[in-house]
Structure 1
Amino acid sequence: MTKADIVNEIAKNTGIDKVTVLTTVEAFMETVKDSLSKNENVYLRGFGSFVIKQRAEKTARNISKNTTIIIPAHNIPSFKPAKTFVSVVK
């Protein structure tokens, strides 16, 4: 399902015009991105959590050049679904 499909489905179910729904969906995504960039997790009860996970520094190998590189510690965004979400998907 794409963002356009989500917008169409919400517009159909609520009767709100697609332009307003698209603006709302994009504002939601931008708000989540902004919060995560500030290291603030986003918790949506009954849906899940968007959290920042920290990856430790590690050593990696480039096999073709036979060299070793160090990948520094960094943060990555992650989504953890709520238990009710998981039970619906099963």
Structure 2
Amino acid sequence: MNADLPYPILPAEPGGLLSLVPDEVQPPATAPAPAMVVADIVDPPLPPVADVSTSSNPPSTGGPPGAPAGSKPSSGIANVANIGLSLVPIMVLSLISAGC
């Protein structure tokens, strides 16, 4: 174990293992598409800005600001309350079982 022997396994040479891979799964020899240049990229024009300072919409029905009329309010608070109520019995049972 403490002998000063040379390392018997040689590292793989770059590209040397590709000869072991079947031809149908080897990478392509050339790039599949030409490289893009900056001139190929075209930005579409931006849409016109809407004037939101005038309010013609009816008052909100409890939904988030900007939500369409008739949308339901979020149920996030109700879900948090349900999780909290579910954790109470778990805590009580864990305290009871720890005392036994």
User: Structure 1-normalised TM-score?
Assistant: 0.23
Identify the structure with bigger relative contact order (alpha carbons < 8 Å, sequence gap 6+): 1
Q: Answer 1 or 2: which has greater helix percent.
A: 1
Q: Answer 1 or 2: which has greater strand percent.
A: 1
Which one has the largest radius of gyration? 2
